[in-house]
Amino acid sequence: MIRSRLLLSAACGLALALAACGPSVAPHPETPAAKPAKRGPIDQAIAALQDGKEKDAARELARILKKNPNDGEALLLRNSIERDPAALLPGESYPYVVRSGDTMMSIAERYLGSALKFYALARYNHIAVPSSLVAGQLLRVPSAALRPKPVVVAPPPEKAEEAPKPEPKSKKKATPAAAPAPTPGAPAAPAAAAHNPALAARMRGAGLAALAQGNVARAVVLLSHAAALDPANPLIQRDLARAQRIQSTVQAKH
């Protein structure tokens, strides 16, 4: 009995010794979490302006300009805070409807040539927090790229007059009476035309478009043709009289 206990005790001791001599496995260290990239001073100033925090941005810009007074980006952002936005963004402005995905910086880069003009553009539109921009919002952007293209109304093509048929040789051609000389400065009277209200309406539209573009002489000619095609139309008569008055005023000044 004692011998069996001694043998069992020796076996347990041997097993413990072998376990102690085996290779030890070190615990796997945890991977540290990636730290967010640290913003530079100019990025901090931009972030502050996006949230409408002018004082915070001004402090960051002052630190930048103290180290480098000629830093162009910092100077541009400081001017966007301190100067009149209408002076920074001169010229005629045009409407722009904010689309999905637009930001004040992307609009400034697209139409003003620099994303850093975003805060000047926000102040131009009386927006205190540029990051609050939403789709469908209406802005005024001083950029010629948004100027609407003028609509040019081309006059309708005039019908080609049919060539007169030759008279039989047996008949003598009547000598046409001499036409009276036109009065200097007055538009030539349109030839007699068949009654055609539809064509007259198109000629009136072309005449009004020419008048709007400052081409008074062409407007008078087109409206005269329209009046000949539809002489009973009071609107055409009114527009023709107005165009003739403008033409007379212009000629009197010259």
Element (H, E) at 106: helix 104-112
User: CATH 1.25.40.10 residue ranges in the chain?
Assistant: 197-253
Give which of 50, 51, 52, 75 is closest to 62, Cα–Cα: 75
- Residue 113 reports pLDDT greater than 60: yes
Quote the CA–CA distance of 52 and 96 in Å, as a whole number.
22
Tokens in use for 69? Answer: 């007074």
Structural contact between residues 68 and 83, judged by C-beta atoms closer than 8 angstroms: no
**Percent over 70 (pLDDT), the chain:** 67
Please compute Rg for the chain using Cα positions. Answer: 43
0.95 surpassed by pTM: no
- Residue 114 reports pLDDT greater than 50: yes
pLDDT tens figures, 6-40: 444 555 455 545 444 444 444 455 555 555 556 68
Quote the CA–CA distance of 221 and 84 in Å, as a whole number.
49
Quote the CA–CA distance of 207 and 224 in Å, as a whole number.
9
Q: Considering only the top CATH level, what class is 197-253?
A: mainly alpha
* Identity at 131, one-letter amino acid code: S
pLDDT tens figures, 200-215: 788 888 888 877 777 8
39-53, 67-81, 137-151: the lowest-pLDDT one? 137-151
